[in-house]
């Protein structure tokens, strides 16, 4: 039994070296953000960088969007796949999001991250936007970006637009 508990602690503990620990966003706030801050629709492909139990993905799918979660903790990948079973618009990938490009059809990225990672995600979002060659929206819960001014804000949420830069600006 002690081994099982130790293994679970290890799974949830090791991610803090790569990003935020697991703390789920609250359903009522996600609902407001996807309605009032950025009305999600079936035209959207939302990517949650660190998707936890998949709550954000399931709510995005309720709004008609395709939702892709990138999650490092295998236990949370299993739990979120099980909770989202049968939902064709939800996909959860077991990956370290720092090491993978965002999917090419991404329209909006959702990040509930620690302040330590903000500069790094800002750089990654800009690189990915340059690669895609079109604007990509980014919604943060909690921490604000440093170099970008939000387009809009709502109870803890900040919404940004990343635009592709020419290579000499990037
Ligand atoms: C604060 S929780 C947010 C969960 C979910 N996005 C939500 O809002 O409910 C952060 C999540 O990111 C995951 N995570 C941390 N670093 C990661 C990384 N480098 N790649 C993928 N997932 C990561 C953690 O395991 C955790 O589930």
Per-residue pLDDT, 77: 97
Mark the ranges of the chain whose per-residue pLDDT is less than 50: none
Task: Classify residue 168: in a domain, yes or no.
Answer: no
Per the structure, the count of domains in the chain is: 1
Ligand 1, atom 14, lies closest to the CA of 50
**Adjacent-strand bridge partners of 91:** 68
The set of residues, in sequence order, having a beta carbon less than 8 Å from that of 5 and lying 6+ positions away, is none
Probe residue for ligand 1, chosen from 10, 12, 13, 22 as the CB with the greatest number of ligand atoms within 8 Å: 22
d(C-alpha 79, C-alpha 44), whole Å: 24
pLDDT of residue 168: 60
Give a yes or no: residue 167 inside a domain.
Answer: no
Residue 80 is assigned to a structural domain of this protein: yes
First to last CA, the chain: 52
| CATH number of the structural domain spanning residue 32 | 3.40.50.150
Asked whether residue 169 is domain-assigned, the answer is no
- Provide the domain limits for residue 91: 2-162
Evaluate: CB of 97 within 6 angstroms of ligand 1.
yes
Q: How far is the CA of 114 from the centre of ligand 1 (A)?
A: 10
């Amino acid at each position: 039994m002690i081994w099982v508990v130790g293994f679970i602690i290890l799974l949830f503990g090791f991610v803090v070296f790569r990003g935020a620990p697991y703390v789920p966003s609250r359903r009522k706030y996600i609902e407001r953000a996807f309605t009032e801050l950025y009305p999600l629709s079936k035209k959207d492909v939302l990517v949650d960088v660190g998707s936890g139990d998949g709550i954000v993905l399931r709510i995005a799918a309720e709004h008609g969007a395709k939702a892709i979660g990138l999650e490092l903790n295998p236990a949370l990948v299993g739990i979120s796949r099980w909770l989202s079973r049968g939902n064709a618009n939800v996909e959860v990938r077991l990956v370290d999001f720092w090491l993978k490009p965002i999917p090419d059809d991404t329209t909006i990225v959702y990040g509930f991250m620690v302040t330590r990672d903000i500069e790094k995600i800002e750089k990654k979002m800009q690189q990915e936007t340059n690669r895609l060659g079109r604007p990509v929206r980014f919604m943060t819960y909690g921490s604000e970006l440093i170099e970008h001014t939000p387009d809009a804000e709502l109870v803890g949420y900040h919404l940004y637009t990343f635009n592709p830069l020419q290579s000499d600006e990037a």
